[in-house]
Amino acid sequence: MDVLLHISTPQAAPIAAALGWALTAHGASWACFMTDDGVKVLADQSFSTAVDHAVRVAVCEHSWDLHMAGQECPVDRSSQTVNSGLMAEAARVVSL
């Protein structure tokens, strides 16, 4: 995978969406992992549409339960171990 977007704040949604669209437009292989209250970016429509083109999209399940309790998670609920694996697989990591 070319790029992993690692998102830990909801304020990253506009930047992450733009990066996702740019990576897709340039044919890059990319994934996204959200943790802490960064899981809230999935409520952003532009971001949610952009990640449809990612090879993998995952959230920290603990963070989801803490910040989005009661809402259905639209992506893979994962662990920090998955986060570590994605970081190891990515050629580049962009932390937002």
- Taking the complete model, does pTM exceed 0.85, yes or no? yes
pLDDT in the model for residue 88 = 97
3-state secondary structure at position 25: helix
Residue-wise pLDDT tens digits, 44-74: 999 999 999 999 999 999 999 999 999 999 9
Residue-wise pLDDT tens digits, 76-85: 999 999 999 9
Write the DSSP string, 31-44: EEEE-GGGGGGGG-
- Whole-number average pLDDT of the chain: 97
User: Per CATH, which fold does 3-95 belong to?
Assistant: Hypothetical Protein Ychn; Chain: A, (3.40.1260)
Taking the CA atoms of 11, 64, 29 and 47 in sequence, report the sign of the dihedral they define. Answer: negative
Domain boundaries, given as residue ranges, for the chain? 3-95
**Backbone torsions φ then ψ of 6, nearest 5 degrees:** -110, 110
pLDDT in the model for residue 50 = 96
The span from the first CA to the last CA of the chain, in angstroms, equals 18
Percent of the chain with pLDDT over 90: 100
